[in-house]
């Protein structure tokens, strides 16, 4: 208890005096997604992940073994946690255990720029740099990948990853422009009735393919069944954490009250997709999947499976290439 008291006291004193100290320039300056910068002193050998998307970039860079700590939400996802078998759980993604991070000798934390940790000031006072790279937005994905590559000394490989991601996304965008009709879409989180807003991973992919998201708000928001039925989406995309029982998920959706009158159900336009594919660099595979859901009449050679196989071939990864969507596209 005494050790904890003195640690907390020291951190509080640093916070109180932080305004009196001139900012220092580190060995490396990382540009965050929001345009701010984070100064890094020394090598980023011991990394903590609050952002699973940034961790996926580390995995593609061949640097996942630098990860010594992960948030509980990452640990709860078997696919994501499997990338970091030796990492310890360091608390919540939005409020990590700072004392534990200090004891681990962490060099840097990777977090979201649009959802900063509640205790960001305490992290700063403890001299634990936080790099805020989202790796979610198509417009900033290449830049985020480049900054993570800079952080771990792999700028050339990062450029190759960003180039492949951009190539796929550009092909999807160009093909989507050929469509004469754009459909209304209800994208639902893995939690029932939570719609995926405009700034979520799926929400941004819907915009990228010129789909019409029935939910115009940002974030994930609980919706009423009456509102969804009245909105009458032409396509429904359900996100799941795994594909263990897709039939049961599909049956639950199709048998919801009033859904027999919803266009997507009437016309067999309901799909299930793995949630982990809608964020991070692999989201280009999800973009391909969404394109094929929306525009089956437009010839397009890429498939979600072929994109993931190419990731594995080019970068030596072992991403799952089966069970991406249900039904398969």
88 pLDDT tier (thresholds 50, 70, 90) = very high
Does the domain made of 181-326 have the CATH classification 3.40.50.1980?
yes
| Interatomic CA distance for residues 109 and 48, integer angstroms | 5
Q: Are 227 and 305 in contact (CB under 8 A)?
A: no
What's this model's pTM, rounded to 2 decimal places?
Answer: 0.89
pLDDT of 20: 43
pLDDT of 78: 84
Task: Average the pLDDT over 60-74 and give the result.
Answer: 97
- The domain limits of the chain are 27-153, 181-326
How far does CA 213 lie from the centroid of its chain? 19
Indicate the average pLDDT of the chain. 92
9 burial type by CB count under 10 A (0-12 exposed, 13-18 middle, 19+ buried): exposed
CATH of domain 27-153: 3.40.50.1980
177 pLDDT tier (thresholds 50, 70, 90) = very high
Do you find a cis peptide bond into 98, omega within 30 degrees of 0?
A: no
- Across 23-37, 77-91, 201-215, least confident range: 23-37
| Interatomic CA distance for residues 324 and 186, integer angstroms | 18
Res. 164: pLDDT tops 90: yes
Secondary structure of residue 131 in the 3-state scheme:
strand
Res. 19: pLDDT tops 80: no
Q: Do domains 27-153 and 181-326 have the same CATH topology?
A: yes
């Amino acid at each position: 208890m005494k050790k904890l008291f003195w640690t907390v006291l020291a951190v509080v004193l640093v916070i109180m005096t932080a305004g009196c100290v001139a900012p220092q320039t580190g060995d490396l300056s990382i540009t965050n997604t929001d345009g701010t910068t984070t100064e890094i002193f020394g090598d980023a050998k011991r990394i903590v992940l609050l952002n699973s998307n940034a961790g996926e970039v580390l995995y593609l860079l061949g640097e996942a073994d630098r990860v010594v700590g992960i948030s509980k939400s990452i640990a709860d996802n078997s696919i994501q946690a499997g990338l970091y078998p030796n990492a310890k759980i360091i608390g919540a993604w939005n409020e990590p255990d700072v004392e534990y991070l200090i004891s681990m000798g962490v060099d840097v934390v990777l977090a979201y720029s649009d959802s900063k940790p509640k205790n960001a000031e305490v992290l700063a006072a403890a001299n634990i740099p936080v790099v805020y790279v989202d790796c979610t937005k198509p417009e900033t994905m290449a830049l985020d990948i480049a900054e993570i590559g800079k952080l771990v000394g792999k700028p050339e490989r990062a450029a190759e990853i960003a180039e492949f991601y951009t190539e796929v996304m550009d092909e999807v965008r160009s093909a989507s422009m050929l469509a004469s009709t754009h459909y209304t879409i209800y994208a639902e989180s893995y939690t029932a009735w939570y719609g995926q807003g405009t700034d979520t991973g799926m929400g941004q992919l819907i915009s990228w393919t010129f789909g019409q998201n029935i939910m115009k708000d940002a974030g994930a928001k609980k919706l009423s069944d009456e509102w969804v039925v009245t909105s009458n989406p032409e396509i429904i995309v359900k996100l799941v954490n795994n594909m263990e029982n897709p039939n049961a998920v599909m049956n639950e959706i199709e048998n919801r009250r009033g859904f027999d009158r919803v266009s997507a159900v009437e016309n067999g336009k309901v799909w299930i997709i793995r949630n982990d594919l809608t964020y991070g660099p692999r989201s280009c595979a999800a973009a391909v999947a969404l394109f094929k859901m929306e525009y089956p009449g437009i010839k397009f050679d890429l498939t979600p499976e072929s994109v993931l196989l190419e990731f594995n071939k080019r970068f030596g990864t072992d991403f799952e290439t089966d069970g991406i969507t249900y039904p398969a596209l």
